[in-house]
C-alpha cells in the first residue's frame, strides 16, 4: 500500500514537532541571482499553532525510520508507530510550494538515523543542495547535524545551511548515556566544535561577493530536554553558558519533557510537562544573553534550582539588596538593566534621554517600565525612597501580585 504525500507530511511533521527550535533569525542571505527567497535577520514568524508556538519553518523529519532507541523519543526503534520516509524531491517541492505562498521562512530538516549517520547526513545534504543549486532558493535552511556523521559531510551541509544544530539532548553525559545508549557527549561535541572552528576561519577570510553568503550565517543551536532526568538548573545553565562562550552557539533551547513513552527510566506517563520550569530557564537564558548575567549569579551550588515563584532577575535583585537603589540619573546602562521591571529598550531610552531631561515617573510609565515592580529598586528625581528591605519583603510576600510578572514576560 502506498502512502500519499499528505500522509507522509502528517507523520513526519508530527515526528519533528518536539524539536522546539523554529527560529529563522540570524541570516541575511541575499536573494540569489535568478532565484528567489532571502533571509531576514530578525527572523519572521508566519503563524502560531494552538500551543502558542511560532511557526516559521517547515519542520519535518526526512525519515522517522530510526535505528536508534533513545528512551525519550517517539521515533525510537522499539515503538510501534507508522513510519515514513520522504523522497528528496518531495521535500524540495513542499518547501518551495509553501515558501512561494509565504507560509514559511524556509526548511528545518532533521531525521532519524536511517542506515547509519553518514547515509542520513548525505540525504539531508541532497535536499539542501537541490534547493540551493537547482532552484536557486535563498530562503532559510536549518539542517540537523546527525551525531556521528563524518566531518566532511558536516562541513558540506554547512555550505548550504543557514543554521545547523546538534542536540545535546540531556544536561549531562551521564543522563545521555542512561537514556540514549547509542549516543554520547563526544558525538555531540565533535561536530559542534568542528563547525565552530570552521566558522571562525570563514569569518577571518575576506568575503568574495554579495552572492556568497558567509559560512553558516545563522550559526548553531542546540536543545536539551528538561525534567526527564535529575539534573539541576545549575547543571543546565552551566552547560548552556559554556555553549554560548565556547562553541559560540546562537541559541540553546530547553524543552520541558513531555512523557510519550512508557519506560522505567523516565517519569511516568501521567506526569505534567514542567512548563513553568522551562519558562524560568528561558528567562535565565535571556539574562545571560542580553542582560549581562553570568550563570553563577543566577544559580549556584547553594541554590541550584530556579525559584518557581518569581523570575530569576527579581530573584537576583532580592538576594542583592546592597546593589539597590539604582539611581536612574547617574547609574550606567548595565546597572539599570539589572532593575526588575526595566527592559533593554527602556534602559537604552533612559540612558539616552536623561542627557536632555530629568527622568520622572511619567517618563518611566510611558517608556513601558513596570513601575509596580521597578519602584522598589530605583531612585530618580521626585521618587519616594521606597527601597528598604522591609518594603521589598512586604511587596514580595504580602502583595505578591505587584512584583510578579505577567506570564511570559521578562523585563
Partner 1 sequence: MNFCFVYDGSFEGFLTAVFEAYRLKLPVRSFAAAARYSPNLFEEHYSIETSSEAADRVWKRIAEQGGEFIGKMIFASFLSELPDVERLIWEYLQKLFSEDGKTFALNPISAEAMPLIRITNSVRRERDRLHGFLRFQKLEEELFFAGIEPESHIIPLITPHFVRRFPQFSWIIWDINRKKGVFFDRKTVEEITIDRFHLPRFEDDFCKMWKSYHQSACIQERKNPLLQRQMLPRRYWAQLPEKN
The site for ligand SF4 (CB under 6 A) is made up of: 66, 68, 70, 73, 75-76, 112-113, 180
Closest CA to 305 of 247, 376, 236: 236
**Residue among 5, 115, 203, 269 that touches partner 1 (CB under 8 A):** 5
Query: Does residue 339 contact residue 375 with C-beta atoms inside 8 Å?
Result: no
Query: Does residue 27 contact residue 57 with C-beta atoms inside 8 Å?
Result: no
- Residue 73 or 226 having the CB closest to ligand SF4: 73
Site for partner 1 in 17-46 (CB under 8 A): 17-18, 31, 34-38, 40, 42, 44-46
Query: Does residue 71 contact residue 257 with C-beta atoms inside 8 Å?
Result: no
**Of partner 1, ligand SF4, none, which one sits near residue 98, judging by CB under 5 to 8 A according to partner kind?**
partner 1
**Of ligand SF4, partner 1, none, which one sits near residue 382, judging by CB under 5 to 8 A according to partner kind?**
none
Write b or e for each residue in 302-336: b if 16 or more Cβ atoms lie within 10 A of its Cβ, otherwise e: eeeebeeebbbbbbbbbeeeeebbbebeebeeebb
Query: Does residue 180 contact residue 68 with C-beta atoms inside 8 Å?
Result: yes
Residue 83 burial by Cβ neighbours in a 10 Å radius (0-12, 13-18, 19+): middle
Least spacing, CB of residue 354 vs partner 1, in Å = 8
According to the binding rule CB under 8 A, does residue 258 interact with partner 1?
Answer: yes
Report the length, in residues, of the chain.
411
Site for partner 1 in 265-304 (CB under 8 A): 273, 275
**Of partner 1, ligand SF4, none, which one sits near residue 191, judging by CB under 5 to 8 A according to partner kind?**
none
Q: Evaluate the omega torsion of the peptide bond into residue 140 and state whether it is cis, within 30 degrees of 0.
A: no
**Residue among 132, 144, 363, 373 that touches partner 1 (CB under 8 A):** 363
Q: How many residues bind partner 1 (CB under 8 A)?
A: 55
**Of partner 1, ligand SF4, none, which one sits near residue 5, judging by CB under 5 to 8 A according to partner kind?**
partner 1
Query: Does residue 37 contact residue 24 with C-beta atoms inside 8 Å?
Result: no
Phi then psi dihedrals of residue 154, to 5 deg: -60, -40
Site for partner 1 in 69-128 (CB under 8 A): 94, 97-98, 100-103, 105
Least spacing, CB of residue 407 vs partner 1, in Å = 8
Binding-site string for partner 1 from residue 127 to residue 166, where x marks contact by CB under 8 A and - marks none: ----------------------------------------
Q: Look up residue 375 and give its DSSP letter.
A: G
**Residue among 355, 382, 384, 401 that touches partner 1 (CB under 8 A):** 355
Which one of the spans 55-63, 230-238, 303-311, 332-340 is the region binding partner 1 (CB under 8 A)? Answer: 55-63
Closest CA to 137 of 168, 173, 94: 94
Which one of the spans 11-19, 111-119, 221-229, 245-253 is the region binding partner 1 (CB under 8 A)? Answer: 11-19
- Residue 222 or 283 having the CB closest to ligand SF4: 222
- Which positions ≥6 away from 366 have C-beta within 8 Å? none
**Of ligand SF4, partner 1, none, which one sits near residue 134, judging by CB under 5 to 8 A according to partner kind?**
none
C-alpha dist (Å) from residue 387 to 316, 321, 341, 363: 15, 9, 14, 20
**Of ligand SF4, partner 1, none, which one sits near residue 49, judging by CB under 5 to 8 A according to partner kind?**
partner 1
Least spacing, CB of residue 15 vs partner 1, in Å = 9
The distance of Cα 67 from the centroid of its chain, to the nearest Å, equals: 27
- Which positions ≥6 away from 231 have C-beta within 8 Å? 170, 171, 172, 175
- Tell me which residues touch partner 1 (CB under 8 A): 5-6, 9-10, 13-14, 17-18, 31, 34-38, 40, 42, 44-56, 58-59, 94, 97-98, 100-103, 105, 258, 273, 275, 349-350, 352-357, 359, 363, 366-367, 408
Amino acid at each position: 500500500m502506498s502512502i500519499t504525500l499528505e500522509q507522509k507530511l502528517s507523520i513526519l511533521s508530527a515526528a519533528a514537532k518536539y524539536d522546539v527550535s523554529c527560529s529563522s533569525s540570524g541570516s541575511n542571505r541575499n536573494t540569489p541571482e535568478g532565484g528567489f527567497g532571502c533571509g531576514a535577520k530578525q527572523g519572521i514568524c508566519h503563524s502560531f499553532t494552538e500551543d502558542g508556538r511560532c511557526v516559521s519553518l517547515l519542520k519535518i523529519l526526512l525519515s522517522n525510520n530510526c535505528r536508534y532507541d533513545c528512551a525519550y523519543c517517539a521515533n525510537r526503534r522499539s515503538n510501534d508507530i507508522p513510519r515514513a520516509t520522504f523522497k528528496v524531491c518531495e521535500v524540495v517541492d513542499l518547501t518551495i510550494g509553501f515558501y512561494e505562498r509565504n507560509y514559511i521562512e524556509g526548511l528545518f530538516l532533521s531525521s532519524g538515523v536511517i542506515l547509519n549517520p553518514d547515509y542520513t547526513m548525505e540525504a539531508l545534504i541532497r535536499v539542501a543542495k537541490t534547493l540551493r543549486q537547482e532552484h536557486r532558493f535563498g530562503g532559510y535552511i536549518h539542517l540537523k547535524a546527525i551525531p556521528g556523521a563524518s566531518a566532511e559531510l558536516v562541513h558540506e551541509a554547512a555550505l548550504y545551511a543557514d543554521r545547523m544544530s546538534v542536540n545535546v539532548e540531556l544536561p549531562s553525559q551521564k543522563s545521555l548515556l542512561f537514556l540514549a545508549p547509542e549516543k554520547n557527549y563526544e558525538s555531540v561535541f565533535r561536530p559542534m566544535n568542528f563547525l565552530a572552528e570552521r566558522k571562525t576561519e570563514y569569518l577571518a577570510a575576506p568575503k568574495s561577493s554579495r552572492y556568497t553568503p558567509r559560512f553558516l550565517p545563522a550559526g548553531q543551536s542546540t536543545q536539551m530536554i528538561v525534567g526527564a532526568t535529575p539534573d539541576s538548573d545549575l547543571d543546565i545553565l552551566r552547560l548552556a553558558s559554556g555553549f554560548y562562550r565556547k562553541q559560540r552557539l546562537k541559541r540553546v533551547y530547553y524543552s520541558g519533557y513531555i512523557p510519550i513513552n512508557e519506560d522505567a527510566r523516565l517519569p511516568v506517563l501521567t506526569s505534567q510537562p514542567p512548563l513553568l520550569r522551562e519558562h524560568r530557564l528561558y528567562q535565565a537564558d535571556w539574562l545571560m544573553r542580553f542582560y549581562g548575567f553570568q550563570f553563577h549569579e543566577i544559580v549556584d551550588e547553594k541554590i541550584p534550582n530556579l525559584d518557581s515563584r518569581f523570575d530569576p532577575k527579581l530573584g537576583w535583585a532580592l538576594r542583592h539588596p546592597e546593589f539597590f537603589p539604582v539611581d536612574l540619573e547617574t547609574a550606567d546602562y548595565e546597572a539599570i538593566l539589572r532593575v526588575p521591571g526595566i527592559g533593554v529598550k527602556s534602559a537604552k531610552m533612559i540612558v539616552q534621554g536623561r542627557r536632555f531631561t530629568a527622568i520622572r515617573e511619567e517618563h518611566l510609565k510611558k517608556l513601558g517600565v513596570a513601575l509596580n515592580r521597578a519602584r522598589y529598586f530605583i531612585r530618580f528625581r521626585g521618587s519616594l525612597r521606597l527601597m528598604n528591605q522591609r518594603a521589598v519583603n512586604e511587596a514580595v510576600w504580602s502583595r505578591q501580585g505587584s512584583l510578579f510578572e505577567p506570564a511570559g514576560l521578562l523585563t
